[in-house]
Homo-oligomer: A and B are copies of this chain.
């Protein structure tokens, strides 16, 4: 399955260059060895949450209120882990909030000083959890 590698490449491409059309992106991917049409690029962008800002594709800004609560980013590490970066010293506080959400897909969380590890059962759960956390912190 090359969807994941392709989407990773898309993320790199849009941060490296200003890309204004999906067709353009599709061509760049072809050059990198991916065989893909505009249709799929459209769906990829949707799944990655990439939107057009000022005529170019980019990752949406971080919800500012999340930052207010100390949460800076959510990244995946493999299929079973989500790593949350927080402002220094606030990881525990953020983790408490996350635990309080009582998300059933979360197997467990551990907080350090500025990092939280969130264990999940698999790929799908990972997606769901990230979505739920952002939703809650984005208020």
Contacts and interface: CB of A to CB of B under 8 A. Distances in A.
Interface of A: 75-81, 83-85, 92, 95, 107-113, 115-117, 119-122
26 contacts: A75-B107, A75-B108, A77-B80, A77-B107, A77-B119, A77-B120, A78-B78, A78-B79, A78-B80, A78-B121, A78-B122, A79-B80, A80-B80, A81-B81, A81-B107, A84-B108, A92-B113, A95-B112, A108-B117, A109-B112, A110-B110, A110-B111, A110-B117, A111-B112, A111-B113, A117-B117
Contact of A110 (B107, B115, B120): B115
A111 B81 CA distance: 16
A76 B77 CA distance: 14
**Dominant secondary structure at the A interface:** strand
Contact of A119 (B81, B111, B122): B81
Contacts of A115: 108-110
A130 to B, nearest CB: 13
Contacts of A84: 108
A75 B115 CA distance: 20
